[in-house]
Amino acid sequence: MNLPFYAQLINLCAALLLLLAFAMLTQRRILSLINLFALQGMVLVASTLVISYSTDQSHLYYSALLTFVLKVLLLPWILHRLIRALKVRWDVETVINIPATMLIGIVLVIFAFNLAAPISEIAGTVTKSTLGIATACILLAFLMMITRRKAVSQVIGFLAMENGLLFAATSATYGMPLVVELGIALDVLVGTLIFGVFFFHIRETFESLDIHHLEKLKER
Amino acid sequence: MNVAGGIVFQVLQSVLVLLLAPLMLGWVNQCRAWLQNRSGAGIWQPYRVLHKLFHKDAVLAHNASPLFRATPYILFGCMWLAVGIVPVLATSLPFAPAADVIALVGLFALARVFVSLAGMDVGTSFGTLGARREMMIGFLAEPAMLMTLFTASLISHSTSLATIVETLGQREFVIYPSMAFAAIAFLMVLLAENARIPIDNPSTHLELTMIHEAMVLEYSARHLALIEWAASLKLTAYITIGIAIFVPWGIAQAGDWAALPVALAALLLKLLAAGAGLALLETLSAKMRIFRAPEFLGTAFLLATLGMLTHFLLER
């Protein structure tokens, strides 16, 4: 195996992203979950920078800057404020226990790797082999959204899924056009703000953030 | 490579590690003391403890079987053999072909079986409890350890540690993402197997929370000294396996006298760094409930498996 050095760096970033996705999946504390999310954003920024430098795609620099401001600084800050205001620092409750979640996670990873293998074969980018990892990150974040009971960790799962999508886009096609990326970034930001307001409403109505209670909202 | 040079290197390495192992333990304890704002007992304390224990009279339980007497020697022998096989100072040692990584894991397992049997031999409840816990930790840690070693073996196409070191250390630098996973998994296994803090507290005095210490409660004097020495050898063996796989730079070839000073200096530096890192890790984390240990080791196994998967995805 003799990949150029930057391709090795990108692969390393991809592996770190996968590692962080698993760490988030198995994390019990909300505070650490937010920190892990910020770290994942940081790795994403690093990988975007390496890709943009090695392929001379100047618009990816803006993308990296946008990711840094939004996912490393702004969103974690908002989430930290939120959990302080909501006083939710307790352990995360999961629907399935953590070891079982990990096993499902590894099945998902194998599935994603197999799914991405034929696509990677025909792709011409230097980052083609990381597509499988990006798919795995998306699926793992999805799994996290499914297995968590509390609204805050579900939102973090949603944001992590967006991280995975962005990574998939940069690794498969050297990133989306800047307009699209700006749009997505704005969506995520506004989404988080709305979720924040929503949390307060859920808690006021049910005195808990457990979305299990939402099942009672049926009209009779 | 001449045979005589190889044998000299083998003897040198075995004796050196044998003498260094208590120092390593002392260094870790001293770092922990510093981090916890204590003055600590000094890095020579393990030698003093060994000296004291060797000069005491051994006390044995009335119903102790020969197995109980033999276990400290078997344990010590296993660990000493293990550090002879691992390329600590030099590769292609005469002992190295005796065992590859799988046999090495088997050697550790042999030691574990004997300690557990000895723990149950006298028939005290704490010994049995410790033995059961040790076997539980062992059967969870072993597959994770093997998977970690397999990841390294896949990269170097060999299960021999010497070949792994030669492949990874002596060719041009390549980043292996799968090794990042393997390194974390190995670290978790190292903590669990050597009864370090997230799993077991080596300095505990509370019998109910003990794992490793509970098994050796009945030992005294020279037997206990051998067991403690073996424990420090095991820690050193694991750390040197970690060094051999993940940071193999500087390890000499057997018989190559010119490379020896560099190898020695590199080894000492790496051991110092590893000990300080271990102490830091132990200070930062709290001991887990025993029922969380399967989850901890399950994570280690998962990471090792992920390492193998990423190897197939990224590095072929």
pTM reported for the whole predicted model: 0.84
Are the Cβ atoms of A133 and B305 closer than 8 angstroms? no
Enter the tokens of residue A159. 């944001």
Which of B154, B156, B176, B313 to probe the A interface (max A CBs under 10 A)?
B313
pLDDT of residue A211: 67
Ordered per-residue pLDDT tens for chain B, 316 residues? 567 777 888 888 888 888 888 988 899 889 989 888 888 888 888 899 889 988 988 888 888 888 888 899 999 999 988 888 888 777 777 777 777 888 888 889 999 999 999 888 888 888 888 889 889 888 889 999 999 998 888 888 888 887 888 777 766 677 788 888 889 999 999 998 888 888 887 777 777 777 888 888 888 888 999 998 999 999 999 998 888 888 887 777 766 777 778 888 888 888 889 989 988 988 888 888 888 888 888 888 888 988 888 888 776 6
On whether any CB of chain B is under 8 Å from the CB of A14, the answer is yes
Give backbone dihedrals phi and psi of B89, rounded to 5 degrees, phi first.
Answer: -100, -40
The ipTM value here is 0.73
Output the CA torsion sign for B22, B245, B307, A34: positive
Least CB–CB distance from A106: residue in B174, B177, B302 = B302
pLDDT of residue A62: 84
Task: In chain B, count H helices and then E strands.
Answer: 11, 2
Report the C-alpha gap between B242 and B236 in whole angstroms: 10
* Distance (Å) from the alpha carbon of A155 to chain B's nearest alpha carbon: 24
**Residues B165, B225 contacting (CB under 8 angstroms):** no
Q: What is the pLDDT of residues A134-187, one digit of tens each?
A: 889 999 998 988 888 777 788 888 888 888 888 888 877 776 777 777 888 788
On whether any CB of chain A is under 8 Å from the CB of B309, the answer is yes
Report the C-alpha gap between B209 and B196 in whole angstroms: 13
Q: How far out from the chain centre does Cα A141 lie?
A: 6
Which of A24, A98, A102 to probe the B interface (max B CBs under 10 A)?
A102
A220 has a pLDDT exceeding 60:
no
Q: Do you know the residue count of chain A?
A: 220
On whether any CB of chain B is under 8 Å from the CB of A76, the answer is no
Helix (H, G, I), strand (E, B) or coil at B6: helix
B49: nearest Cα among B68, B74, B22: B22
Residue appearing with tokens 């990874």: B168
A156: nearest Cα among A38, A17, A19: A38
Report the C-alpha gap between A214 and A202 in whole angstroms: 8
pLDDT of residue A81: 85
On whether any CB of chain A is under 8 Å from the CB of B310, the answer is yes
A126 has a pLDDT exceeding 80:
no
On whether any CB of chain B is under 8 Å from the CB of A12, the answer is yes
Enter the tokens of residue B110. 């042999």
pLDDT of residue A73: 87
* Distance (Å) from the alpha carbon of B175 to chain A's nearest alpha carbon: 6
Are the Cβ atoms of B303 and A19 closer than 8 angstroms? yes
Residues of chain A neighbouring B175 (CB-CB closer than 8 A): 8-9, 11-12
Which of A18, A26, A50 to probe the B interface (max B CBs under 10 A)?
A18
On whether any CB of chain B is under 8 Å from the CB of A100, the answer is no
Q: What is the pLDDT of residues B29-58, one digit of tens each?
A: 899 898 888 888 888 888 998 899 889 888
Q: What is the pLDDT of residues B96-154, one digit of tens each?
A: 777 788 888 888 999 999 999 988 888 888 888 888 988 988 888 999 999 999 888 88
Share of chain A above pLDDT 90, in %: 5
Q: Give burial (CB, 10 Å; 0-12/13-18/19+) of A58.
A: exposed
Residues of chain B neighbouring A1 (CB-CB closer than 8 A): 174, 315-316
